[in-house]
Amino acid sequence: MNVAFWEKHQNTSYTDAETMLKKTHKEVMALIETFSNEALFAKGVFDWTGTTTLGSYCVSATSSHYNWAFKDIKKVFYKNYLALYSIDDKEKIVHILHIFYAKRDYAKSV
């Protein structure tokens, strides 16, 4: 699934990707908020979750997944620029994700 997603978005700009991430995150959080705490954290509420809770799936699909992605993204400063990149060790490729002019408030965009 991650490979298909990566292939689909090779030509997606950073700005578009950021917009899509914020939109889907907001949608997912709105969906999660429709469930009660019992529905989220009690075992056996939904047969399809087996011995896991719905809340555990929600954490895996949101914060845990975001943490995993942020650990994969590297950064480097050079003169007045900040570059975000990731490394594909298997293919021996460096993917440049975005380059910021350092005087810009890039933290708002990351």
Model confidence over 6-36: pLDDT tens digits? 778 778 877 787 888 889 889 999 999 999 9
First-to-final CA distance of the chain: 24
CB atoms within 10 A of CB 100: 19
Dig out the tokens for 67 from the structure: 């943490």
Using DSSP, state whether 108 is helix, strand or coil: helix
Give the residue, 104 or 90, on which the prediction is more confident.
Answer: 90
Model confidence over 34-87: pLDDT tens digits? 999 999 999 999 999 999 999 999 988 888 777 776 666 677 777 777 777 777
What does the pLDDT read at residue 70? 66
